[in-house]
C-alpha cells in the first residue's frame, strides 16, 4: 500500500513539473467571468482535496491497523450494526459542504449569466458569432464589419455575444475570457464576456461537430478602444463588402483562413429567433428591420462610450 | 452493382480491410471447428437454447469480455493518435468513428452485459431461487442484446461506423450531416439491445420481488441483490425513454420526419434531453450493481458484516430517485438560464451525500475487521480513493458556472472515466475473480491477478489523471489532433503510456484464465473465500436447480449464520423440482431481429417487413404454446447431489 501511495504522489509531482512552466488557460483568466469561474474552480479543488485526503487517511489507517497479517489467528471481528451518531456525521458533513458549494454555485450562475462584474454600467458591444462547418463568422452590426475566424474586441467594455449556428450544435469558447455556450441553428443564445487587458487568446468550438472539428478555432485579440476604432476604420477603407452570394460560399463545409468584410450577413441572413425556425418570410423581414434599428441605437450610443473609456 | 454499392465502406483503410479478412477467417474457423469436433449439437442443446440463468450469465460474461477488447482496441488507437502533436496515424473521419464506437461499445455492449452477467449469475443464488421469474424471456433478453452488439460491430466492415459520438446529438446525427448508414446502425443496434435490457429489468424486478426464499424479507436481502433490484427499477423507468428517442431518431433518418430536425418545428435539443433523461440514470444502472459487488467483497475479506445495512439501502433508493432529476447537467451550456442551471446544479451535488454515506460505510465495514488482500479486495481497496476522486470531480462539474469551463473538455473525459473505470470496471474484474470459482470450479491465479491489478491501477492513473490538467488547459474532447504550440503533447504521451499499461493488464486477464485452467487445483470446495451470503451455500459447480432444498433465511448473512451460529439452512425432505424447458425460440427471434435491424439500416423494405412479420409470428406462437416445464425426480436429485459432493 505504501508503495502505491509513494508512486501516486510521484506521478502527481511529475505532472505538476510537466505543466509547471505555464499556467493552465482556464486558471489564467483575463476577464471578470473567467476570473469568477477560476476562483470557483480553485475553491472547489481546495474543498475536494480535503475530502479526498480525509478518505485516504482513514483508508490507510484502517488498512494498516486491521490487516489480517498483523492480527492473531483467533481474532474474530465483531458484528457491528450502524451507529446513529456516526451516520449522522457521515450525512451531516457532506450536506454542509454541498450546501455551501450550492450557495456559491447559484451565486456564480447569476453572475456569469449577466453583464460582467464592474461593467454593468456600460452599454455592451454586441457581436453575433455564428458557426458553420467548420468556421466562425463574427458580425459587428454596430460597426458594420464582419470577420471570419478571428475576433477583435475592445478591452474594458462588456461584450454580448449572440451565438447561433449554420449546422450542427457548436460551443463558443474563449477559455481565458470565460466559459463556453452552445450555438444552435434554431435559436440564439447569449454569452456575456469582457477582457480586462489587451492580449491574444485562443478561441474554439468545443462541441464536436464532425470532420473538421479539431481545426474549428479562431484567434481573439483584445485591444484598447482606440486601437479597436482604428481597426474598424481601416476595415472600412480596405475591405470588400460581404455579398449574399459570397456568404453562401463561405457557408460551404471546409476550412477558411481569416477574412474581413464590410457589412454583415445579418442584413440578408438574419439570426434565428427563439421560436425554433417556424418563421414565415414576412416575419424574417420584420426581424431584420428590428435588427437594423437595434444597431442604429447602438451606434448613436457609441460616442458616449468613447468618452467614458477614460474611467 | 448499384445495389451492392451501399454496403461498401465510405472511408476504407488497410486496417479495415485487414479486419474484414480477420473476421472472415475467424468465422470460417469457428464453423470448421464446430463441424470437425462435432459440437453443433452440443452448442445448440447446451447454450443456444438454454434458459438456465447461470449459462445465460456466462454467455453475457463472455460477450462482455469480447466487447471489452473491441472497445479497448478503439481506446488504444485513440490514445496512440493523440500521443504526439499533429500525428497522422488516423484521419479525422476514422478518429470520429473510433471514439463513437468506443463509447457505445463500452457502455452498451461491455458494461451493461457485465452487470447483467452478475445479475444473472448471482441474484437467483443470493435469494435462494431456482431460476429467474421468466427464464425464456431471460434467454430472449440475452439474444436481443447479443444480436444488437453484433449488428453494431459489423458496421465498420459493412456500410461504415457511426461517427456522431456516442451521444449522437442531432442535427449532427441527422441525414444532412451524417450521410452514411453508420448512425442507422447506432439507432437500430441500441434499439434491439435496449428492448432486451428493458425485458431484463422487468424480469429481475419480478424475480427479486416474488421468488425470495422463505424468511428473506426485503431488508434481509444481500446487498448485491438490493443493488440489482434498484438498478432494474431504474432500467424499467429509464429505458422506455431511450426506446422512444431512438424510434424518433430512426424515423427522422429513414422516413423523413422532423422530430430532431432544425426546420419545420423540429427541435435538436429535444434529442439531447431525451438522451440524458435515459443516459444519466443509465450510469447509476451501471454503478449501483458495482457498489453491490464491492459491498459483498469488502464484507467477506474484512470478515465483518456490512456496516450500516439500512443506510446502504436508503442511499441507493435516494440515488435512484435523484438520478432522474439531474439530466440537464449534461448541457448546462445550452443557454437555459441561471435558474434552471441552479436547480440542476443543486440536485446533482445532492447525489454526493448518499454516495458519501456509502464510501464511509465501506470504510467502517473494514474497521475492526481482519482484512485479507486478495485480488478482489485489492480492486475494492483501490476503488475507494480513486472513486472518491471521480466523485469529487463530479461535484466540481456540478457547479454549473464553473462547468462552462469544464464542459466538452478532457477534464470531463477524465471525470467520467475516473468513475466508470475504478467504479464499474474494477468491480466487474473484482467480481469476476471473486465469483469465478463458483461457476468454473477453479480459482484464478492470485499472483497473475495481482500483476493485472497493478498494471490496471497504475495504467489508469497515468492514462486519466493528466486529462484533468490538459482539460483545464483548454484541450477539448473529441479532437483528433492538436498542434505542438498548444503544449498538450507531453501529458498526452503520459496518457498513452498509461493506456498501454492497461492494455497489457487486460491481456494478462486472458493469460490468467488460460494459466489457471491448466494449473489451478479443482478440489476447492464450495466456499473457497470463507464468504457470508447465500450464493456460497450451494455446491460448486452449481447444479442446474441451484438448491436441492430451498434454504431457510434468518438474516442478510444467512450462510455465515449457518457456519458460525448453527443456523439450520436446509430443512425437510427432498422434493421433486419443477424446472423450465429449453427453447430455441429466443435464439431464432434474435436472428430474426438481426435481419430486421440490418434491413432497416440499409432501408431494404422487403426483408424488413418479412422479418417484422416473423417476430409477430414468434410472439403469437408463444402465446398459444402450452409448456408446463419439466420435473426433476427425487432419485435424480439424489444422484446429482452425491456426484457433486453429497447432499447438504
- Going by the DSSP 8-state scheme, the letter that residue B572 receives in this structure is S
User: What distance in Å separates residue A28's CA from the closest CA in chain B?
Assistant: 9
Q: Are residues B290 and B429 in the same domain?
A: no
**What CA–CA distance (Å, rounded) separates B442 from B436?**
7
Q: Are residues B385 and B292 in the same domain?
A: no
> Which residue of A7, A54, A113, A129 is the best one to mutate when testing the B interface, meaning the one whose CB has the most B CBs within 10 A?
A113
The answer to whether A176 and A143 are in contact (CB under 8 A) is no
* B402: nearest Cα among B349, B324, B479: B349
Q: Are residues B105 and B20 in the same domain?
A: yes
Peptide bond into B171 cis (omega under 30): yes
The answer to whether B362 and A71 are in contact (CB under 8 A) is no
Coil, helix or strand at residue B480? coil
Which residue in A has a C-alpha nearest to residue B381's C-alpha? Answer: A59
Cα A271-A140-A201 angle, rounded to 5 deg: 105
* A195: nearest Cα among A152, A240, A145: A152
Q: Are residues B118 and B241 in the same domain?
A: yes
Q: Are residues B286 and B401 in the same domain?
A: no
Which residue in A has a C-alpha nearest to residue B489's C-alpha? Answer: A18
CB contact under 8 A, B404 and A179: yes
As given in the structure block, the three cell numbers for residue A175 are 477559455
Domain boundary among B285, B302, B319: B302
Would you call A273 exposed, middle or buried from its count of C-beta atoms within 10 A (0-12, 13-18, 19+)?
A: middle
Which of A288-297, B103-112, B266-275, B332-341 is the least confident region?
Answer: A288-297
> Which residue of B262, B361, B485, B554 is the best one to mutate when testing the A interface, meaning the one whose CB has the most A CBs within 10 A?
B262
Q: Are residues B277 and B414 in the same domain?
A: no
Q: Does the residue B84 lie in any domain?
A: yes
Query: DSSP characters for B111-124?
Result: IHHHHHHHHHHHHH
**What CA–CA distance (Å, rounded) separates B323 from B172?**
27
Q: Are residues B147 and B271 in the same domain?
A: yes
CB contact under 8 A, A102 and B361: no
* B128: nearest Cα among B571, B644, B632, B638: B571
CB contact under 8 A, B401 and A111: yes
User: What distance in Å separates residue A302's CA from the closest CA in chain B?
Assistant: 28
Buried b (16+ CB within 10 A) or exposed e, B442-481: bbbbeebbebbbbbbbbbbbbbbbbbbbbbbbbbbbbbbb
pLDDT at A283: 39
User: What distance in Å separates residue A225's CA from the closest CA in chain B?
Assistant: 27
Cell numbers 464590410 label which residue? A262
> Which residue of A28, A83, A115, A276 is the best one to mutate when testing the B interface, meaning the one whose CB has the most B CBs within 10 A?
A276
Say yes or no to pLDDT of A5 above 60. no
Query: DSSP characters for chain A?
Result: -HHHHHHHHHHHHHHHHHHHTS--GGGS--SHHHHHHHHHHHHHHHHHHHHHHHHHHHHHHHHHHTBGGGS-TT---------HHHHHHHHHHHHHHHHHHHHHHHHHHHHHTSSPTT-TTSPPEEEEEEEETTEEEEEETTTTEEEESEEEEETTS-EEEEEEEESS-EEEEETTTEEEEEEBTTB-EEEEE--SS-EEEEEEE-S--STTGGG-EEEEEEE-HHHHHHHHHHHHHHPEEPPHHHHHHHHSSS----EEEES-GGGTSPPP-SSTT---HHHHHHHHHHHHHHHHHHHHHHHHHHHHTT-
Please state which CATH class domain A125-302 belongs to.
mainly beta
Averaged pLDDT for residues B115-136: 96
**What CA–CA distance (Å, rounded) separates B646 from B237?**
44
Whole-number average pLDDT of chain A: 85
Averaged pLDDT for residues A242-259: 94
A-chain CB neighbours of B385 within 8 Å are 52, 55-56, 59
Q: Are residues B141 and B265 in the same domain?
A: yes
CB contact under 8 A, A182 and B341: no
**What CA–CA distance (Å, rounded) separates A12 from A96?**
29
Say yes or no to pLDDT of A309 above 60. no
The answer to whether B568 and B36 are in contact (CB under 8 A) is no
Averaged pLDDT for residues B604-631: 94
- Reported as a pLDDT band with limits 50, 70 and 90, residue A62 is very high
Q: Does the residue B215 lie in any domain?
A: yes
Cell numbers 442507422 label which residue? B184
Phi and psi for B568 in degrees, rounded to 5? Answer: -90, 115
Residue spans of the domains in chain A: they are 2-67+82-112, 125-302
A-chain CB neighbours of B171 within 8 Å are 167-169, 185
Averaged pLDDT for residues B167-177: 93
Domain boundary among B268, B284, B302: B302
The tens digit of pLDDT for each residue in B231-285 reads 999 999 999 999 999 999 999 999 999 999 888 888 999 999 999 999 999 999 9
Q: Which CATH number do you get for residue B436?
A: 1.20.210.10
Q: Are residues B297 and B395 in the same domain?
A: no
Q: Could you tell me how many CB contacts below 8 A there are between chain A and chain B?
A: 296
Say yes or no to pLDDT of A17 above 70. no
Averaged pLDDT for residues B578-597: 96
Q: Does the residue B547 lie in any domain?
A: no
Q: Does the residue B380 lie in any domain?
A: yes
Q: Does the residue B641 lie in any domain?
A: no
Domain boundary among B302, B334, B353: B302
B-chain CB neighbours of A19 within 8 Å are 469, 473, 491
Which residue in A has a C-alpha nearest to residue B353's C-alpha? Answer: A94
What is the domain count for chain B? 2
Q: Does the residue B325 lie in any domain?
A: no
* A177: nearest Cα among B335, B474, B329, B340: B474
By residue range, what is the domain housing residue B258? 6-302
pLDDT at B485: 92
> Which residue of A50, A206, A213 is the best one to mutate when testing the B interface, meaning the one whose CB has the most B CBs within 10 A?
A206
Amino acid at each position: 500500500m505504501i508503495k502505491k501511495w509513494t508512486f501516486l504522489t510521484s506521478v502527481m509531482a511529475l505532472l505538476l513539473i510537466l505543466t509547471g512552466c505555464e499556467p493552465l488557460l482556464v486558471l489564467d483568466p483575463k476577464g471578470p467571468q473567467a476570473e469568477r469561474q477560476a476562483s470557483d474552480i480553485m475553491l472547489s479543488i481546495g474543498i475536494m482535496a480535503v475530502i479526498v485526503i480525509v478518505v485516504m487517511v482513514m483508508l490507510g489507517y484502517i488498512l494498516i491497523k486491521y490487516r489480517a497479517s498483523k492480527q492473531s489467528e483467533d481474532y474474530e471481528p465483531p458484528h457491528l450494526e450502524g451507529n446513529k451518531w456516526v451516520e449522522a456525521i457521515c450525512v451531516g458533513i457532506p450536506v454542509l459542504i454541498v450546501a455551501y458549494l450550492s450557495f456559491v454555485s447559484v451565486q456564480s450562475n447569476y453572475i456569469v449569466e449577466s453583464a460582467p462584474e464592474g461593467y454593468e454600467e456600460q452599454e455592451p458591444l454586441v457581436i453575433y458569432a455564428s458557426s458553420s462547418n467548420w468556421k466562425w463568422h463574427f458580425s459587428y452590426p454596430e460597426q458594420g464589419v464582419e470577420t471570419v475566424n478571428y475576433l477583435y474586441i475592445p478591452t474594458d467594455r462588456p461584450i454580448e455575444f449572440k451565438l447561433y449556428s449554420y449546422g450542427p450544435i457548436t460551443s463558443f469558447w474563449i477559455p481565458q475570457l470565460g466559459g463556453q455556450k452552445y450555438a444552435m441553428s434554431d435559436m440564439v443564445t447569449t454569452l456575456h464576456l469582457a477582457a480586462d487587458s489587451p492580449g491574444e487568446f485562443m478561441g474554439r468550438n468545443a462541441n464536436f461537430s464532425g470532420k473538421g472539428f479539431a481545426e474549428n478555432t479562431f484567434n481573439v485579440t483584445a485591444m484598447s478602444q482606440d486601437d479597436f476604432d482604428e481597426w474598424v476604420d481601416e476595415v472600412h477603407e480596405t475591405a470588400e463588402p460581404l455579398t449574399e452570394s459570397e456568404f453562401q460560399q463561405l457557408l460551404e463545409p471546409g476550412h477558411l483562413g481569416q477574412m474581413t468584410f464590410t457589412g454583415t450577413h445579418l442584413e440578408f441572413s438574419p439570426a434565428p429567433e427563439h421560436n425554433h425556425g417556424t418563421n414565415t418570410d414576412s416575419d424574417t423581414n420584420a426581424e431584420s428591420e428590428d435588427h437594423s434599428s437595434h444597431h442604429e441605437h447602438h451606434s448613436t450610443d457609441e460616442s458616449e462610450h468613447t468618452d467614458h473609456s477614460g474611467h | 452493382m448499384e445495389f451492392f454499392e451501399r454496403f461498401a465502406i465510405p472511408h476504407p483503410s488497410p486496417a479495415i480491410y485487414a479486419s474484414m479478412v480477420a473476421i472472415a477467417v475467424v468465422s470460417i474457423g469457428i464453423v470448421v471447428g464446430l463441424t470437425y469436433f462435432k459440437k453443433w449439437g452440443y452448442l445448440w442443446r447446451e447454450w443456444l437454447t438454454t434458459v438456465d440463468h447461470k449459462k445465460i450469465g456466462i454467455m453475457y460474461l463472455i460477450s462482455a469480455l469480447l466487447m471489452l477488447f473491441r472497445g479497448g482496441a478503439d481506446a488504444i488507437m485513440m490514445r496512440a493518435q493523440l500521443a504526439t502533436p499533429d500525428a497522422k496515424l488516423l484521419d479525422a473521419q476514422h478518429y470520429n468513428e473510433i471514439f463513437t464506437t468506443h463509447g457505445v461499445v463500452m457502455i452498451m455492449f461491455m458494461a451493461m452485459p457485465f452487470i447483467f452477467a452478475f445479475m444473472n449469475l448471482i441474484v437467483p443464488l443470493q435469494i435462494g431461487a431456482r431460476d429467474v421469474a421468466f427464464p425464456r424471456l431471460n434467454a430472449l433478453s440475452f439474444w436481443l442484446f447479443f444480436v444488437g452488439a453484433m449488428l453494431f460491430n459489423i458496421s465498420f466492415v459493412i456500410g461504415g461506423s457511426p461517427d456522431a459520438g456516442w451521444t449522437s446529438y442531432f442535427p449532427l446525427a441527422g441525414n444532412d450531416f451524417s450521410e452514411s448508414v453508420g448512425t442507422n446502425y447506432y439507432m437500430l443496434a441500441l434499439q434491439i439491445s435496449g428492448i432486451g435490457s428493458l425485458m431484463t429489468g422487468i424480469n429481475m424486478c419480478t424475480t427479486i420481488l416474488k421468488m425470495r426464499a422463505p424468511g428473506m424479507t426485503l431488508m434481509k436481502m444481500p446487498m448485491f441483490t438490493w443493488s440489482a433490484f434498484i438498478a432494474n427499477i431504474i432500467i424499467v423507468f429509464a429505458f422506455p425513454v431511450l426506446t422512444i428517442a431512438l424510434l424518433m431518431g430512426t424515423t427522422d433518418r429513414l422516413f423523413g420526419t422532423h422530430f430532431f430536425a432544425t426546420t419545420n418545428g423540429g427541435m435538436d435539443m429535444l434529442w439531447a434531453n431525451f438522451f440524458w433523461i435515459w443516459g444519466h440514470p443509465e450510469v447509476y444502472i451501471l454503478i449501483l450493481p458495482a457498489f453491490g459487488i464491492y459491498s459483498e467483497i469488502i464484507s467477506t475479506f474484512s470478515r465483518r458484516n456490512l456496516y450500516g445495512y439500512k443506510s446502504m439501502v436508503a442511499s441507493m433508493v435516494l440515488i435512484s430517485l435523484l438520478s432522474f432529476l439531474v439530466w440537464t447537467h449534461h448541457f448546462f451550456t445550452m443557454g437555459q438560464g441561471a435558474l434552471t442551471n441552479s436547480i440542476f446544479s443543486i440536485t446533482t451535488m445532492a447525489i454526493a451525500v448518499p454516495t458519501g454515506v456509502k464510501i464511509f460505510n465501506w470504510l467502517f465495514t473494514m474497521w475492526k475487521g481482519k482484512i485479507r488482500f486478495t485480488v478482489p479486495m485489492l480492486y475494492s481497496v483501490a476503488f475507494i480513493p480513486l472513486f472518491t476522486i471521480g466523485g469529487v470531480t463530479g461535484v466540481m462539474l456540478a457547479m454549473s458556472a464553473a462547468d462552462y469551463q469544464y464542459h466538452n473538455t478532457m477534464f470531463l473525459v477524465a471525470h467520467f472515466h475516473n468513475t466508470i473505470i475504478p467504479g464499474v470496471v474494477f468491480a466487474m474484474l473484482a467480481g469476476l475473480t471473486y465469483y469465478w470459482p463458483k461457476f468454473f470450479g477453479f480459482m484464478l491465479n492470485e499472483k497473475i491477478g495481482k500483476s493485472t491489478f497493478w498494471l490496471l491501477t497504475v495504467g489508469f492513473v497515468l492514462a486519466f489523471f493528466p486529462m484533468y490538467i490538459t482539460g483545464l488547459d483548454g484541450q477539448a474532447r473529441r479532437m483528433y489532433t492538436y498542434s505542438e504550440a498548444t503544449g498538450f503533447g507531453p501529458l498526452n504521451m503520459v496518457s498513452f503510456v498509461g493506456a498501454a499499461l492497461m492494455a497489457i493488464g487486460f491481456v494478462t486477464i486472458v493469460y490468467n484464465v488460460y494459466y489457471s485452467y491448466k494449473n489451478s487445483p479443482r478440489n476447492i470446495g464450495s466456499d473457497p473465500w470463507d464468504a457470508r451470503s447465500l450464493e456460497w451455500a450451494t455446491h460448486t459447480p452449481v447444479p442446474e436447480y441451484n438448491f436441492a432444498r430451498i434454504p431457510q433465511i434468518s438474516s442478510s448473512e444467512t450462510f455465515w449464520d449457518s457456519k458460525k451460529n448453527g443456523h439450520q439452512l436446509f430443512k425437510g425432505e427432498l422434493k421433486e423440482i419443477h424446472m423450465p424447458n429449453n427453447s430455441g425460440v429466443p435464439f431464432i427471434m434474435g436472428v430474426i431481429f438481426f435481419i430486421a435491424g440490418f434491413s432497416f439500416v440499409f432501408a431494404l423494405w422487403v426483408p424488413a417487413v418479412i422479418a417484422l412479420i416473423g417476430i409477430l409470428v414468434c410472439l403469437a406462437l408463444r402465446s398459444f404454446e402450452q409448456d408446463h416445464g419439466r420435473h426433476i425426480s427425487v432419485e435424480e436429485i439424489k444422484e446429482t447431489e452425491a456426484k457433486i459432493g453429497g447432499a447438504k
